């Protein structure tokens, strides 16, 4: 049941504030993050972990990339992200102090399941971030941290993605608490950010109208670029993947700092570029660098669509369109920034007369390797 929406994807984009709320629910006790499924592994085991590898495919791998920044910051454990289907072929360096966290909405993606089985055979601790109750991957893993986003029907993942980021953040906060690397202030600040998140996400969802107009004017676009820095980088990759998946438009995401090392050659007159602009309050250095990037591409004729936090006026002289999002701590910006990009893909797909929920050649869950 689409609940009055034109597509499941539209419904699921709209459900994100509740999805992230449900992922957090029951996992904050007396102002501290406590995930019972991780506690069950034993604090000693969690304290011994010296390396985390996140494995996933597609959108879930971008959630993993966003999560890697937060886990490193809060738990001070080195985290790397690998595509599931690449993982075992590199003969990865694993030990009993390694934790492998798989991220999968369906919990049935064969590439990810095979990577998890490989990890289990090598004696590492396996944690599954999954949205589907009792799916194969969480059943095989040592611990399952469910996202509780509710069933996701559209092939293109939206609410499962933001819930996956949320779950990975909770894991980072849990590990940071147990290992003593997380200060009381940082912990309280993150818990406060989670409390404010649903309302801010509702404001991000409300960008729909503005995005729909933008997409209307861009219906003939043949290529779109996305730039981001830090946690905005995987969001740029996700914005591009969404366009490929459901609007069949060539799109690429880049780390903004990489622009000058090659991709800037792609910039030509009228080339649309979405830029995820870090907050000038919480990340002034990154903010000024990204504003310079915008100036560079604008000087070469790019059509700049800037996604900024409300009150950031530095980009106004150089942006053709500005999408404003509520203030949030740097690590929480991705959970807001991705929403207008989801709407953009949906609206461009609709403008092209495509079925947004059932894109050609794709399946919700790929159960072959």
> Residues in the site for ligand BG6, rule: CB under 6 A?
57-60, 104-106, 109, 112, 155-157, 362, 365-366
Sheet containing 321-325: order of strands: 250-255, 223-228, 272-276, 303-309, 321-325
Least distance (Å) from ligand BG6 to the CB of residue 37?
A: 19
DSSP 3-state assignment of 96?
coil
Least distance (Å) from ligand BG6 to the CB of residue 229?
A: 23
Burial (CB < 10 A; 0-12, 13-18, 19+), residue 91, is: exposed
User: For residues 180 and 182, what is the distance between their CA atoms, to the nearest angstrom?
Assistant: 6
Give the Å distances, CA to CA, from 233 to 63, 228, 259, 326: 11, 4, 12, 19
Q: Are 126 and 154 in contact (CB under 8 A)?
A: no
Least distance (Å) from ligand BG6 to the CB of residue 328?
A: 24
Give whichever of 313 and 361 is closer to ligand BG6, judged by the CB atom.
361
Q: Are 161 and 23 in contact (CB under 8 A)?
A: no
User: For residues 99 and 130, what is the distance between their CA atoms, to the nearest angstrom?
Assistant: 16
User: For residues 88 and 222, what is the distance between their CA atoms, to the nearest angstrom?
Assistant: 36
Pairing of strands 79-83, 98-104: unpaired
Least distance (Å) from ligand BG6 to the CB of residue 215?
A: 20
Residue with tokens 């949320």: 166
What DSSP designation does 243 have? Answer: I
**HSE toward the beta carbon, residue 36, CA cutoff 13 A:** 5
User: For residues 101 and 64, what is the distance between their CA atoms, to the nearest angstrom?
Assistant: 9
Least distance (Å) from ligand BG6 to the CB of residue 70?
A: 19
Tokens encoding 231:
């946690």
User: For residues 259 and 45, what is the distance between their CA atoms, to the nearest angstrom?
Assistant: 42
Least distance (Å) from ligand BG6 to the CB of residue 366?
A: 4
The residue annotated as part of the active site, out of 117, 289, 352, 364, is: 364
Give whichever of 288 and 367 is closer to ligand BG6, judged by the CB atom.
367
Helix (H) or strand (E) holding 157: none
Give whichever of 145 and 155 is closer to ligand BG6, judged by the CB atom.
155
Give whichever of 73 and 102 is closer to ligand BG6, judged by the CB atom.
102
Give whichever of 131 and 293 is closer to ligand BG6, judged by the CB atom.
131
Least distance (Å) from ligand BG6 to the CB of residue 121?
A: 20
User: For residues 246 and 63, what is the distance between their CA atoms, to the nearest angstrom?
Assistant: 19
Give whichever of 193 and 365 is closer to ligand BG6, judged by the CB atom.
365
**HSE toward the beta carbon, residue 205, CA cutoff 13 A:** 19
Whether 2 sits among the annotated catalytic residues: the reply is no
Q: State the catalytic residues.
A: 364
């Amino acid at each position: 049941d689409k609940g009055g929406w034109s597509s499941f994807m539209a419904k699921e984009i709209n459900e994100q504030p509740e999805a992230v709320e449900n992922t957090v629910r029951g996992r904050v006790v007396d102002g501290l993050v406590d995930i019972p499924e991780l506690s069950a592994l034993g604090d000693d085991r969690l304290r011994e972990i010296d390396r985390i590898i996140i494995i996933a495919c597609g959108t879930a791998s971008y959630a993993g990339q966003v999560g890697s920044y937060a886990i490193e910051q809060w738990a001070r454990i080195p985290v790397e992200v690998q595509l599931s289907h690449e993982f075992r072929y590199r003969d990865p360096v694993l030990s009993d102090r390694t934790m492998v966290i798989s991220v999968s909405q369906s919990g049935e993606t064969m590439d990810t399941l095979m990577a998890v089985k490989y990890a289990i055979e090598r004696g590492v601790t396996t944690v599954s971030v999954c949205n589907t109750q009792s799916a194969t991957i969480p059943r095989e893993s040592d611990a399952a941290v469910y996202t509780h986003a509710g069933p996701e029907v559209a092939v293109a993942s939206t609410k499962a993605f933001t819930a996956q980021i949320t779950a990975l953040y909770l894991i980072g906060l849990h590990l940071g608490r147990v290992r003593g690397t997380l200060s009381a202030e940082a912990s309280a600040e993150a818990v406060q950010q989670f409390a404010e998140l649903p309302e801010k996400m509702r404001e991000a969802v409300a960008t729909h109208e503005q995005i729909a107009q933008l997409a209307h004017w861009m219906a003939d676009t043949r290529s779109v670029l996305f730039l981001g820095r830090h946690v905005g980088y995987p969001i740029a990759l996700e914005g591009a993947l969404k366009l490929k998946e459901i609007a069949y438009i060539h799109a690429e995401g880049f780390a903004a700092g990489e622009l000058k090392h090659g991709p800037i050659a792609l910039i030509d007159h009228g080339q649309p570029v979405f830029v995820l602009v870090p907050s000038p309050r919480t990340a002034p250095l990154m903010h000024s660098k990204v504003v310079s990037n915008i100036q560079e591409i604008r000087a070469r004729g790019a059509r700049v669509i800037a996604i900024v936090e409300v009150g950031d006026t530095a980009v106004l002289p150089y942006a053709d369109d500005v999408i404003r999002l509520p203030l949030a701590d740097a690590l929480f910006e991705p959970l807001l920034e991705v929403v207008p990009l989801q709407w953009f893909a949906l609206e461009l797909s609709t403008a092209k007369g495509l079925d947004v929920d059932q894109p050609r050649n794709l399946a919700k869950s790929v159960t072959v390797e």
